[in-house]
A and B are shown apart, each in its own frame.
Chain A
Amino acid sequence: MLSVRSVRKSFGAVVALKDANLELMPGEIRALLGANGSGKSTLVKILSGLVSKDGGQILLDGRPLSIDSPLDSLRAGFATAYQDLSLVPRFTVAENIALGREPRGRAGLIERREVLETARGILERLKAEFSPDTFASVLDASQLGQVEIAKAFAWKARYLLLDEVTASLHHEQVRVLFKLLKEMAAAGAAILFVSHRLDEVFQLCDTATILRGGQTVASVKVSEVDHTDLAFHMTGKRLDRAQVKKTSTLSAVGAEAVLAVENLTVMPKVKGVTLHVNAGEVVGLGGLQGQGQSEFLQAVYGAAARSGGVVKLNGREVHFRSPAEALRHGLGFIPGDRDRDGVFPVRSVTENLYLAKLALRPLARIINPQELLQGARELIQRLGIVAGGPNHPARSLSGGNQQKLIVGRWLAVSPKVLILDDPTKGVDIGARLEIHEILRRMAQAGTSVLISSSEVEELLALADRIYVFYEGRIVEELSGDQRSEQNLISAMLGVNHAQSREG
């Protein structure tokens, strides 16, 4: 039996887990549930050895277990199938499945035949439609998912940790997988199934542990609860089914639509998204993390390629091949990962503020430093940025102020459409409210704002209309009175959405 007791983990100032508890018995299939920021991925990484815990205990059959690396985890009897895969693209499927547990024969040489046979056996049970000597680089997302699962199966471990493995699988592949998992549980394996698809949880799992805010808030028998109970545990808000109003159609694109997107597809994450933003409107994109919002926004802005669909700016079709092109057409983009994609830490506040505006000028034109400095000072004041001075390096600012820098950068350019990808993630409440205010003022001045966020409160406070993403599609559009916590949360969790995956 596996026992996780009061496990804690922080990454710097961010507390990922404060009190995680879990029990898993042989023969049990337990779901691990939690919304964004609940700590469930951190907990899985601690059990699989990729991350080390700060405190708490992990007990295996009553004895304390210390897991400092994936090797420790594997030796202890855990096998993990990772959401972001642990495969080597240039290896064949069989080589990937055998990686780390190569069967040795005479003189310690690898038994190549056994590698192939083992792989073939598991792939057959999974009803996979490719052969073991196929290179991983030619497989698509669902097939790669199957290889990852096959790899975990090959360890024949007592404890199987499956982290969002069904995310890219087709309906039929999921059915076969669940049948196998139930057989394995009946034979004594213990399975931890991490997923956000509540329907699957009800199909497969015996029990569920729900994390919220880094703590275990509930451990239930799946047969004794329903969707609303689970949603309540995951979000802390009681969902009253009677209050959930569903819209059947999305609002039509009108003449005032500044940005109109039709059937945008970015394989495999975005599966045909249609939406529009009117002038001076703030449109929110809601949903759990990783449902395709980032990929969608990047495709609109030209930072990523799209597989299909049409984007129209003020009625004219556009296809940006680079963010620079989008910028010239009046778009602005504030990325999700601020540290990686936004701020230039060593460059000064002034340079960071004026980056976009300068990008619009011809390269050979001379810049007047006084003009820049004066403008920077004005912006700093207008935005309430707390900085030592306009020439200080951007990294000397706090996270929230750095994010204000980026907003300020775009304010300086007055774009027609400003796109933001979860801009206030990890930003303190004070800075967050100020950024909201800035965005509202920009919208009033005529900028159309398209903002994606995983925070319910933020969307409700800011957005005129909210589109909810679930598994790469829009499942709900909320406007006017429909913008309630109930509706938003139920849409985010896919509660009202009948799942029809491609099959």
Chain B
Amino acid sequence: MYQRFVRTSPGISGYFLLVIAVVLNLAVQGLNFFSGWNFSSIFSGNAPLIIVCMAQMIAILVGGIDLSVGSTMCLANTLIVMLTNKQRWPTLGAWLAALAACTLVGLLNGAIIAFIRIPPILTTLSTMSIVGGLALIVQQRPGGVVPREVYSRYGGFTLGLPTTFWVILAMILIWYLIGRYPLGRHLRAVGGNERSAYACGIRTPLVKLSAYTLVGFYTGIAGICVTCLTATGDPRIGIPFTLNSVAGAVLGGTVFGAGWGSIGGTVAGGFFLALVNNIVFFAFSALIRLFSDYTPSPYMQNLLSSAIIVFALASTAVTYKRQESAQKRQKAEFQEKLHGRQG
């Protein structure tokens, strides 16, 4: 039963990496890792990343990619700040407007990809620029405020657990629910083998349209989170998230062109990315304590983080290959049984 899980779960590489990250984190940070304060900051600090990784996972599952997620988060952020600060909208109204805008971006991406048939990478590269430009139109310079009630609620606790824990959980449950509907299956089918999906009577353009619209929705939520986190507006806030979202999804076991991936794995992959920075920070702190005249530059930290991530990405290929050979061995067992019975 456990063997079957390892062999067949798409998220296995994500879970595996997360365990390693937690262990390493414990090694450098000590038991402080488990303190409520630390946990809470890990969740609230990284909720935007986790959620945008989920968005990217959806795009990859349907056979594409979405390079515009970072810019879309910028748009959400600047819209919320502009509407609440300049137009005096209530927070909730601003959030809904931003969410609608991001979902519309996703719809636009989906429409171009599905009906005009421009490849996803080109389409989203273009919308990345367009939406990034829109964000700059809304707000040219960093600035603006987010009400204290909002950002302290975001960074604090609700019902005994970090608020953002519930947000992430909700996003996981939404995806889980979608998976129980035909759309969830059809989405993966289109990503796994579009021709087969089409031959089964699936309306592939509609599936793609729905998928990218969902990506927009999830990205919108991530944009709201990053606004609460930074408590200010910045038209360039989302830029590092684009590539990180791909990294997180891939680390979590999402495979391009196969319709293979799990939300649990993606969340784990996202947390792995989040913890890597934490690990590197504490590792260098320990080094400073050990060698008191050692002053590392931030570039060294960056280098180490990136090296760890590259290593981890390479390891997903190993996990994938392992799963394939495990499946091939299962295939061989089938053949033995078949021939054995007839022999």
Which residue numbers of A lie inside 8 Å of B, CB to CB?
48, 50, 69-71, 73-75, 80, 82, 85-91, 95, 98-102, 104, 108-110, 129-130, 135, 137-140, 143, 151, 503
Contact = CB atoms under 8 A, between A and B. Distances in A.
B335 interface: yes
A371 to B, nearest CB: 41
30 contacts: A48-B199, A50-B199, A69-B201, A70-B200, A71-B201, A74-B200, A74-B201, A82-B199, A86-B199, A87-B193, A88-B189, A88-B192, A88-B193, A88-B197, A88-B259, A91-B259, A98-B185, A99-B189, A99-B197, A100-B200, A101-B201, A109-B180, A110-B181, A129-B337, A129-B338, A138-B331, A140-B331, A140-B334, A143-B334, A503-B342
A69 B197 CA distance: 12
A70 B199 contact: yes
A70 B198 contact: yes
Contacts of B258: 89-90
B203 A71 contact: yes
B202 A99 contact: yes
A20 to B, nearest CB: 21
B196 A86 contact: yes
Contacts of A135: 8, 327
Contacts of A110: 180-182, 185
A90 B327 contact: no
A91 B188 CA distance: 9
Contacts of B197: 88, 99-100
Among A88, A104, A138, which residue has the most Cβ atoms of chain B within 10 A?
A88
Given A88-B196, A110-B180, A135-B327, 13 more contacts: A50-B198, A75-B201, A88-B193, A88-B259, A90-B188, A91-B189, A91-B259, A95-B185, A99-B189, A99-B197, A109-B181, A129-B334, A137-B327
B286 to A, nearest CB: 43
Interface in B212-255: none
B335 A140 contact: yes
Contacts of B201: 69-71, 73-75, 100-101
Contacts of A90: 188, 192, 258-260
A86 B195 contact: yes
Nearest to B194: A88
B182 to A, nearest CB: 5
Contact of B196 (A85, A130, A139): A85
B342 A139 contact: no
Contacts of B188: 88, 90-91
Contacts of B182: 102, 104, 110
Interface residues of chain A: helix, strand, loop or mixed (majority): loop
Contacts of A130: 334
Contact of A86 (B186, B200, B259): B200
B196 A87 contact: yes
Interface of B: 8, 180-182, 185-186, 188-189, 192-193, 195-203, 258-260, 324, 327-328, 330-331, 334-335, 337-338, 341-342
Contacts of A75: 201
B314 to A, nearest CB: 22
Contacts of A95: 185
A139 B327 CA distance: 9
Nearest to B339: A502
Nearest to A108: B181
Given A88-B188, A91-B188, A110-B181, A139 B334 contact: yes
Among B328, B330, B337, which residue has the most Cβ atoms of chain A within 10 A?
B330
Contacts of B180: 109-110
Nearest to B189: A88
A102 B182 CA distance: 6
Nearest to A84: B195
Nearest to B342: A503
B199 to A, nearest CB: 4
A353 B137 CA distance: 55
B70 to A, nearest CB: 29
Contacts of B338: 129
A172 to B, nearest CB: 8
A179 to B, nearest CB: 19
A101 B202 CA distance: 9
Among B8, B186, B198, B199, which residue has the most Cβ atoms of chain A within 10 A?
B199
B135 to A, nearest CB: 37
Nearest to A100: B200
Contacts of B202: 71, 99-100
Nearest to B258: A90
Contacts of A87: 193, 196
Contacts of B8: 135
Nearest to B10: A90
Contacts of A73: 201
B222 to A, nearest CB: 27
B251 to A, nearest CB: 19
A118 to B, nearest CB: 14
Contacts of B341: 129
A89 B188 CA distance: 11
Contacts of B198: 50, 69-70
A129 B8 CA distance: 20
A138 B330 contact: yes
A87 B197 CA distance: 8
B196 to A, nearest CB: 4
A151 B189 CA distance: 15
A98 B198 CA distance: 14
A89 B195 CA distance: 12
Contacts of B192: 88-91
Contact of B200 (A99, A108, A137): A99
Contacts of B189: 88, 91, 99
A137 B186 CA distance: 18
A341 to B, nearest CB: 21
Please give me the 9 A-B residue pairs with the lowest Cβ-Cβ distance, nearest first.
A100-B200, A86-B199, A88-B192, A71-B201, A138-B331, A86-B196, A74-B201, A100-B201, A102-B182
A151 B201 CA distance: 12
Nearest to B255: A90
A151 B200 CA distance: 9
Contacts of B342: 503
Contacts of B193: 87-89
A158 B255 CA distance: 38
Nearest to B193: A88
A503 B343 CA distance: 10
A477 B188 CA distance: 48
A80 B201 CA distance: 11
Nearest to A88: B192
B177 to A, nearest CB: 8
Contacts of B199: 48, 50, 70, 80, 82, 86
A88 B257 CA distance: 11
